[in-house]
A and B are shown apart, each in its own frame.
Chain A
Amino acid sequence: MTAAVSFQHVSRHFGSVRAVDDVSIDIEAGEFFAMLGPSGSGKTTCLRLIAGFEQPTAGHIEIFGETAEGLPPYKRNVNTVFQDYALFPHMTVGENVAYGLMIKGMGRAERRHKADEALAMVKLEGFGERKPGQLSGGQRQRVALARALINQPQVLLLDEPLGALDLKLREQMQEELKALQKALRITFVFVTHDQGEALSMADRVAIFNNGRIVQVGTPSEVYEHPRSRFVADFVGSSNVLSPAFSRAHGGPAAWISLRPEKIDVLWPDAKIKDDHASAEAEVTAVHYQGAMTRIVAVAGETRLTATVTAQMASGIGAGERVRLQWPLKALVTMEADE
């Protein structure tokens, strides 16, 4: 089966800056694909290469088997939801949504009908006559979504679409986007710097750093088996253990990632379970976070963070001697990088 989007050794340089540096990737049709990375890592440039706003300096891009480089945005069956939504302020919501159809030359009545349908799909019935300026951020986001989907694109690109929304709304939109993608079966390519968003929504995640993809996989793959310290750090938080520390505590002599939620915090005289390693440590800080408590402790030279339930954390304060325990199979060996 042809990939929805295929990058083959694609680079995009701006002068001496390598925004995208030799990226190769296949995005499957119907997939919800997230591009995750810190700002300046090249993920947005990749999205713009798919949309056609940028042309690659080198390499080859295919969209459903068709060569994309050299093709202007208006000749691609790809639509974008912009970070700032980019709704046209001089048009009503309905005119904004129907813009793509108007450009194609569809009649006014039919256009209106389709725009109403698209607005209903994003739960904005009856908003067609308003101006974008009269809408809230969440509503504008939905209008941008309806406007992008009305052309029935083969691929929908979303550039940090939830970045400007508050937490509650963001969680709600995450669910709706996911449901919409399931219902429409359109390939979604989603750019975000929020790892929680990427993990909860995407079928697969590509993690970007310095213009390159450092790891691709399902959310659980990249979370459970980060291949490098960068991924371990960026996706969730992680304890990075040096080869020396790891070997001293029954692990392999390699850089290790250990997730904070895998660590139990016990009293120093507690019994250690089978197949577990442990280390004595001194608690330096306790951060109450509602459902969970984050405990920072130092074992020798190594700083370890554990996320435990409030129940397990009760009675533990800074300066306390504790025993940290973790299952040996929670240790993830990483390639030594950086």
Chain B
Amino acid sequence: MSVNEVEQKWEPKILVFACNWCTYAGADLAGLGRLQYPPNARILRVPCSGRVNPQFIIKAFQRGVDGVLVAGCHPGDCHYTTGNYFTRRRFLLMRRLMEYMGMEPERLQNRWISGSEGPKVQQVITEITEEIRALGPNRKLRDDQWNN
């Protein structure tokens, strides 16, 4: 297979950290409503977006994920009162760090999707998939010892 062919076959792999109470429920609702979106995102359930350690995000990029979305309840609506405020602060810092590392900061995204916003899940995942597709594969941080 030529390099070009590999490139054409490439599909972005997106990891979504979804909080159990809002975004995960929103994604369930999108399913109930049969709202179709690209199959590139893999949703990982966490109790709260505030549980997402920046370490998880960096590891994900090292392992070759092309984009990461951290999604939680709307600010002020956190099931645990304040969890997503910490997410918001960490996200801003993480984006700065990514710029510093030479990564496209757009590879890390942060959205607030409530449990009743099925259509927003569809819209956000579609949007982000396209954005990451336009950026191309993540090569900067990818550590090939993990990818045989």
A, B from the same assembly: no
Using a CB–CB cutoff of 8 Å, the interface residues on chain A facing chain B are: none
Using a CB–CB cutoff of 8 Å, the interface residues on chain B facing chain A are: none
